[in-house]
Structure 1
Amino acid sequence: MARKAPRKTALVTGANSGLGLAAVLQLARTGLHAVGTVRSAEKAEKVHAAAEEAGVDVETRLLDVTDAAGCKDVIGDVRPDILVNNAGSTCYAPVADVMEEEARHHLETSLFAPIRLARLALPHMQDRGWGRIVQVSSVAGKVTYPLMGWYQAGKHAMEAVSDALRLEVAGSGVQVVVVAPGGFRSGISEDMADVAHRYRGSKYATAFRRLDLGFTLVQPFWTDTDEVADVIAFAATAENPKGRYVVGRDAHVTLLVSRIVENFGAAVEARDKVVRRLIGLP
């Protein structure tokens, strides 16, 4: 009698809420052995409760992705066939207001951590002759807006390194996929509201207030978190995935407009003037 192939294991970082939680639950629904990383026992309990409600099994591991030793231990223990790098952080502030220590911490979370985890997981995947690394990015990985410079820096850099990695490891049976959603329903609007409140009375008060209002107005057009999770699960399990998936109509429109503008030098200056006036930059 032929032996049944063992279940593949998928490791999702930042799985305690939002997109990470939706993704780990969806991967579990596909029949994978799903493992989610969280930063506290309390958050692990929330994952287990959500999994029980969804009728699936999800394991958890405690991990702060900025802890290099912790990353090594978790990868060595789980030995994932599929790695979904979802953990990240936001950084909404004028570039000049962000001190180097804060900027380094943000890049550690959004750039170095996912690449470190991928590097640690690669030997296990290459030994099996199969592996999948899914890097959760954003439309901000290709497009730049004001007051989000360091957030975009992490996403731009992570996508660039991931593109290079995809080419370098394809011959070993490991595929690297970037998933780039536009807006989706999560805690992002609350984050922006907090930032707008923090900048009250500053020269950027109007700009952040308008950004906060803009986020509120466009939320009805954002993609549902479960839809993004479906794309992540497909990217993780499809036989021949694409190198990059853009998710959401807003993301497709934003990228199209950006490409058109970048092809016309004068349009860049016009766009800059419109954007600055629209959000009320000083």
Structure 2
Amino acid sequence: MADSAEASQIALALETLSRAYLSEGRFDAAEATLRQCIDATARVFGTQRHPGVATLLDMLAIALVQQGKNEEAEAVLRASVEVKVEVHGGPAHEEVAHSLHGLGEALSRQGKFDEATKVFHASLEALHRATGTEWPADAGPTLQALAMAHVHLGQYAQAEEAWHRKAELGERLHGTPANSDTVPALGMLAQLCLRRVQRPADALRFSTGAWQAALAGQLWDHALQIGPVHLACLAGNGQPAEAIEQVVRALIQVIDRFPEGDPARSHAISELQRLYPGPGNANG
């Protein structure tokens, strides 16, 4: 009994240390400690097929990804999915969906986009079945990752569908388009239509919706990102100078909310100068 208690304490201490290393960004140390922790935890429970082990595998995958060890992360996440499917009695569980999302990300980082799309769809299906709704609250990041994988494959119609679902999900959850799911999804739709599929009118419709929602919700980070895209869409649709200048003035006000040296601020200023080489430059 004493040996069992001591083993549990060791496993807990290793997990606490691993979490500290992850939070400090010491990913190599976290990896080494997590491998010890996984072995110790498996000995405590007498099996590798335990929810506690799966949680540690997910943590190990984070440490590996942060070191660029994506192939190893893929293998670890596959093991995590297998354990979670077994202990939860099937794939219809939010924990399974979480690990599937991570697996899809690991595959995408290796350029395995076709396989990644299948895994992201499996993650969404697991969420749908686990929550009993077509609009699970946690689906946003997976829809975003799925859309990007489709873009890399040149599958623009599928990417557009994923971003439409992400935009609608946000609006359903928050009751307004002024939220951090809908605004970036509309922004990505605008960029897709403007730069990939040459539908400038649709691009302007999406960018207008994103810009107005970002301002209405005071989502300044998103407004800083969508502002230059909206300007490009206005110009691409031959909108009047007055309409463009109005957006320029509003974007300058948004830029001024961010400190000097902020990378997002610097990018927005650069884009503003490129798209509107006029009075706005003096305020950058």
Q: Provide the TM-score with structure 1 as the length reference.
A: 0.29
Q: Which has the higher contact order (CA 8 A, sep 6+)?
A: 1
- Higher fraction of helix: 2
Q: Provide the TM-score with structure 2 as the length reference.
A: 0.29
Task: Give the structure with higher Rg (CA).
Answer: 2
